Amino acid sequence: MIVVTNTIKVKEGHGDGLASRFGQANGVQDMPGFIRLEVWHGAPKNGVEELKICTTWEDEDALKGWTTSPSFRESHRGAGKNENIIEASLDKYELLLSRTQGE
């Protein structure tokens, strides 16, 4: 399993607006191998809010299928033109261990 985190720092007061964009149907939910999308919102610090957009995929091929799809290109069109975004970084992780309550 693969998890991709997109950490986006925005000017305070703009986190909820940006987060709402990820709730719109953009095709990711229909991609083979897609498991889930989560949007995490951190408390403001020094005038900056942080969002973590986490997508979970069955494997690397499923992730690649999304990032090379027309839906991906369409959903990210114009993303670099938001003046409220201060910075963004992308990280990818492979799941090595998972536990649930009672295990």
Confidence of residue 72 (pLDDT cuts 50, 70, 90): confident
Of 22-26, 27-31, 90-94, the one with minimum mean pLDDT is 22-26
Kindly tell me if the per-residue pLDDT of 77 is higher than 80: no
Residue ranges covered by each domain of the chain:
2-94
The pLDDT score that the predictor gives to residue 37 is: 95
For residue 56, list its beta bridge partners.
Answer: 3, 36
Q: What is the largest CA-CA distance in the chain?
A: 46
Mean pLDDT, rounded, of the chain: 91
| Average pLDDT over every residue of 66-70 | 92
The pLDDT score that the predictor gives to residue 82 is: 81
- Fold exhibited by the domain 2-94: Alpha-Beta Plaits (3.30.70)
CA distance 83 to 17: 13
What are the tens digits of pLDDT across the range 29-38?
999 999 999 9
Q: Quickly count: other Cβ atoms within 10 Å of residue 51's Cβ.
A: 21
Kindly tell me if the per-residue pLDDT of 97 is higher than 80: yes
How far is CA 99 from each of CA 6, 28, 103, rounded to the nearest angstrom? 24, 26, 6
| Average pLDDT over every residue of 12-29 | 88
